[in-house]
């Protein structure tokens, strides 16, 4: 986007973290905490960032990197960068029709975007904005609603289905509740004041939504429209989910003929099982530190996951999310063996700051950082990063290194 047409809000945005600082001022505390927060004591939220400090990149010189490109092949598609946009629930509460803005920006930048199953925008509307988008589903607990949901995703036109498997037992939401955010959303004086004290968000997001489309509903949890977000029935699924096992996945695999990806895996054996039961790819993820507090970073688990897959059968694409904020973070994950990276909260905050233009700016910032770092470590192509450890480019920051 040309600098002369860039929104003024982006003039002082130089990194992904800058978006979060601006978004925090613009959003009501309840909405901000929903987007930014983690569970319980937020150990895993902090672990997702801390792990990147434990791996260092050693520059290589005099290696002619003038031909470098960060274009990346995934599932036969050449994307413009080695990263995409994570599924993020209730994005339209943070930015007006947030899912559509994310989808349009992803299509314009040519990176994959995953539509959330807890979006308040119909999956069909997001697909109309970006026919290359993927759809992420939280499986209903009862089988009677599972297959109709899959059929709806098919009918909408999606070719890639992402099943999230780390939410079958609900996480603690105490930090969100302290901030005033609950599901269902319960009107209160403090919540009203939270909105009134952020008039920009109140007018441009909440009231604009009410006037144009009415009270937001959970649109994509089932084959039919869900309840309004303020309804007592506005939970993803009344039926328990803790009984589900891999047979549910196999049932969907038999029906779904497109690409099928499993998200929310950390244990190497679960990744192997997913592949052996027909997954086309996996996303190693701890749900952005929003589920089990105290679980390891997905980046920390990458070497074990890849070793388990390579030692037991064919290699499928291994993607990863959680805590990515810099191009060097992306390079480190790819050098550890990941095929692709997904980024969540920063794109949501960019959407808050400047809508589609903000998301495009965030993608450009991150791509530029990846491009720069790729040259500094001495490679011309993303695929070459598989040799980074053998070339002495990637170091684990042990005690001796930390003392330097």
The Cα–Cα gap between 130 and 288 comes to: 25
* Residue 285 is labelled as binding a ligand: yes
* Residue 164 is labelled as binding a ligand: yes
The Cα–Cα gap between 302 and 333 comes to: 8
Q: Annotated catalytic, 267?
A: no
Angle (deg, nearest 10), helices 268-276 and 298-310:
50
Do β-strands 340-343 and 318-321 pair in parallel, antiparallel, or remain unpaired?
Answer: parallel
* Residue 323 is labelled as binding a ligand: yes
* Residue 321 is labelled as binding a ligand: yes
* Residue 127 is labelled as binding a ligand: no
* Residue 228 is labelled as binding a ligand: no
* Residue 88 is labelled as binding a ligand: yes
* Residue 87 is labelled as binding a ligand: yes
Options 55, 287, 361, 387, the catalytic residue = 287
For residues 112 and 74, is the Cβ–Cβ distance under 8 A?
yes
The Cα–Cα gap between 312 and 50 comes to: 31
* Residue 313 is labelled as binding a ligand: no
* Residue 300 is labelled as binding a ligand: no
Q: Select from 374, 370, 287, 378 the least CA-distant residue to 330.
A: 370
Q: Residue 72 phi/psi, 5° resolution?
A: -135, 135
* Residue 325 is labelled as binding a ligand: yes
* Residue 322 is labelled as binding a ligand: yes
* Residue 32 is labelled as binding a ligand: no
Q: Select from 314, 248, 246 the least CA-distant residue to 280.
A: 314
* Residue 263 is labelled as binding a ligand: yes
What residues contact residue 170 under an 8 Å CB cut-off, 6+ apart? none
The Cα–Cα gap between 24 and 96 comes to: 16
Enumerate the active-site residues: 287
What residue numbers does the annotated binding site for glyoxylate cover?
A: 34, 138, 173, 263, 287, 290
Binding residues: 34, 87-89, 116, 136, 138, 164, 173, 263, 285, 287, 290, 321-325, 344-345
Binding site, annotated residues for FMN: 87-89, 116, 136, 164, 285, 321-325, 344-345
């Amino acid at each position: 986007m040309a600098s002369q047409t860039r929104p003024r809000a982006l003039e002082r945005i130089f990194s992904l973290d800058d978006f979060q600082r601006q978004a925090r001022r613009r959003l009501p505390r309840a909405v901000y905490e929903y987007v930014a927060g983690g569970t319980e004591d937020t150990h895993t939220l902090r672990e997702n960032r801390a792990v990147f400090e434990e791996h260092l990149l050693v520059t290589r010189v005099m290696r002619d990197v003038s031909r470098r490109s960060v274009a990346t092949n995934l599932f036969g598609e050449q994307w413009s960068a080695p990263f995409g946009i994570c599924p993020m629930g209730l994005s339209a509460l943070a930015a007006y029709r947030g899912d559509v803005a994310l989808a349009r920006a992803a299509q314009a930048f040519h990176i994959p975007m995953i539509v959330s199953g807890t979006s308040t925008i119909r999956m069909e509307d997001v697909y109309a904005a970006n026919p290359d988008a993927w759809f992420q589903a939280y499986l209903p607990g009862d089988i009677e609603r599972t297959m109709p949901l899959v059929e709806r995703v098919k009918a909408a036109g999606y070719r890639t289905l992402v099943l999230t498997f780390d939410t079958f037992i609900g996480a603690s939401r105490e930090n969100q509740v302290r901030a005033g955010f609950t599901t269902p959303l319960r009107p209160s004086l403090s919540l009203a004041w939270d909105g009134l004290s952020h008039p920009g968000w109140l007018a441009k997001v909440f009231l604009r939504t009410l006037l144009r489309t009415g009270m937001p509903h959970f649109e994509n949890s089932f084959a039919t429209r869900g309840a309004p977000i303020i309804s007592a029935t506005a939970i993803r699924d009344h039926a328990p989910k803790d009984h589900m096992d891999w047979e549910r996945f196999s049932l969907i695999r038999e029906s779904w003929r497109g690409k099928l990806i499993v998200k929310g895996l950390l244990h190497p054996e679960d990744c192997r099982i997913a592949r052996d039961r027909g997954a086309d790819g996996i996303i190693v993820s701890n749900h952005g530190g929003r589920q089990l507090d105290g679980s390891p970073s997905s980046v920390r688990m990458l070497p074990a996951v890849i070793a388990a897959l390579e030692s037991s059968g064919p290699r499928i694409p291994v993607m990863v999310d959680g805590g990515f904020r810099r191009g060097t973070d992306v390079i480190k994950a790819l050098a550890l063996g990941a095929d692709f990276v997904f980024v969540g909260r920063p794109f949501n905050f960019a959407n808050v700051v400047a809508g589609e233009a903000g998301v495009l700016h965030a993608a450009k910032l991150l791509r530029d950082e990846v491009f720069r770092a790729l040259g500094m470590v001495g490679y011309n192509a993303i695929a070459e990063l598989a040799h980074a450890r053998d070339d002495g480019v990637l170091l684990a920051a042990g005690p001796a290194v930390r003392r330097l």
